[in-house]
Each structure stands twice: as structure tokens, then as C-alpha cells.
């Protein structure tokens, strides 16, 4: 299993939110490019970059994202408000290894299948989950669909991976939802990345034991609850 540091961008800065709430910002660092560099210097080979403003329709950090892609040697997956083939193509052309799709991919399966066929093996679908239900629009809208029904549907497309975030655990550093991740790993035909609440090395080892391919971590790394070099040393490709 590989660990992937999260670089979430809001108003041009790198931030970390608690519980998916934009009103509960705990970490703010002014230079996302410097943050990305610090993670690669610690030994991480892959980064997860999200434009939070684009994801919620508040604006765009496209210039910052493109500058980050141009300045980093890491393998980077990028998401946040990506809802068109043109946006996917721009990110891939700018150097993204994979593009993360969220709201439209969940709400428009036909569009997702078309995009996955056009960009096979280059797309990751973010299935954000609260209480086993999928949420979209920057975690603001909760659907009645169970996450496993969504996973079954995603299995029909040639995706690079599915990223499942336990939003109810996000940023709280109280451990992740192992039951959720276990079920998702069992149902998914593509690699599963887990996120939300991951706090300790035991959390990471438990996810690896369940067949999770990657873990996206934010708060535990930014606060020092997890030592970056120790994590990178144990969980890199």
C-alpha cells in the first residue's frame, strides 16, 4: 500500500478542514508548492491535490495547481470541480498522472463511462461517504444511494482507482472507518484508495491488511501525529 499526502488548496493556500466543514479550517499554509516539495523531500512519491474552491463552485485555483504540477517531480493526481473532458485534458497535459472526478461522475454514470473510455486508466472517482451514503458538491449534498451500490456501478468503467473518503471521520484524527473500507475493498474491481480519519501506523497497517491500495492522508501528517519520514519509509512504491 502507498501513502499519498493530501494538498488541499483554498484561496491559494494549502488547508486542512475538520469533518468536511469549510467553517472548520484547522491548518492553513500560504505556499502549496512549498508544501508539496516538503512531502517529496520526506520521501513520498505521489501527491493528491484538490482545488477545494473549484469543487464547491467558490472559485478556482487552476494557476496554483498548474504551477505545482510544473514544479514537482512527484506523481500527482488532481481533482476538484472537474466536470468536462476539456478540464481532464488540461490537467493531464499540465502533468497530472491521474485526474480525480467527483460530483458529476457520481451523478451522471453515462458521462463517467464515456470519460473513462476516452481516458482509460487515468481517472479516479472520488466517492465521498457519510454514514454509508454518498455525498457530493463538496460534501454539501447527501444522496440516498449506499456506497456499495455506487461501487458496483463504478466497476463497469476502466478506472485507475476509486477514492473513498469517510467524511464523518475526516480531519478528526480518531481513526478511519475500517468496516466501510473493508466492504468497499471487497466489492471494488479497481484499486481502492482510502481517506478520512487515518491517524496512526496501525490504521495504515489495518487498511493494508484489508487490501486497500493507497491511503490519502492530510491532518495526521500536517499536525505531526504521524511522522512523515517514518510513513514514507514504510508505505511507498
How far is it, in rounded angstroms, from Cα 31 to Cα 14?
Answer: 7
Contact indicator for 192, 161 with CB cutoff of 8 Å = yes
Instruction: Point out the residues that are catalytic.
Output: 8, 128
Contact indicator for 154, 187 with CB cutoff of 8 Å = no
SS3 216: strand
SS (H, E, C) 21-71: EEEEEEEEECCHHHHHHHHHHCCCCEEEEEEHHHHCCCCCCHHHHHHHHHH
Amino acid at each position: 500500500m502507498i501513502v499519498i499526502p493530501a494538498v488541499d488548496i483554498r484561496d491559494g493556500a494549502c488547508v486542512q478542514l475538520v469533518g468536511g466543514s469549510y467553517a472548520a479550517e484547522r491548518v492553513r499554509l500560504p505556499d502549496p508548492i512549498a508544501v508539496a516539495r516538503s512531502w517529496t523531500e520526506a520521501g513520498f512519491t505521489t501527491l493528491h491535490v484538490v482545488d477545494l474552491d473549484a469543487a464547491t463552485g467558490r472559485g478556482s485555483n487552476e494557476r496554483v495547481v498548474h504551477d505545482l504540477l510544473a514544479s514537482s517531480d512527484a506523481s500527482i493526481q488532481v481533482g476538484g470541480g472537474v466536470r468536462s473532458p476539456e478540464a481532464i485534458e488540461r490537467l493531464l497535459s499540465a502533468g497530472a498522472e491521474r485526474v480525480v472526478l467527483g460530483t458529476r461522475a457520481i451523478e451522471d454514470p453515462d458521462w463517467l463511462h464515456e470519460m473513462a473510455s476516452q481516458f482509460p486508466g487515468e481517472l479516479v472517482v472520488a466517492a465521498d461517504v457519510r454514514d454509508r451514503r454518498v455525498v457530493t458538491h463538496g460534501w454539501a449534498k447527501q444522496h440516498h444511494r449506499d456506497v456499495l451500490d455506487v461501487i458496483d456501478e463504478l466497476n463497469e468503467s476502466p478506472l485507475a482507482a476509486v477514492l473513498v473518503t469517510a467524511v464523518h471521520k475526516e480531519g478528526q484524527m480518531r481513526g478511519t472507518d475500517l468496516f466501510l473500507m473493508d466492504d468497499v475493498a471487497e466489492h471494488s474491481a479497481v484499486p481502492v484508495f482510502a481517506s478520512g480519519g487515518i491517524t496512526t501506523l496501525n490504521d495504515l497497517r489495518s487498511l493494508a491488511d484489508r487490501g486497500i491500495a493507497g491511503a490519502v492522508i492530510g491532518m495526521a501528517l500536517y499536525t505531526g501525529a504521524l511522522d512523515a519520514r517514518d510513513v514514507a519509509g514504510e508505505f511507498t512504491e
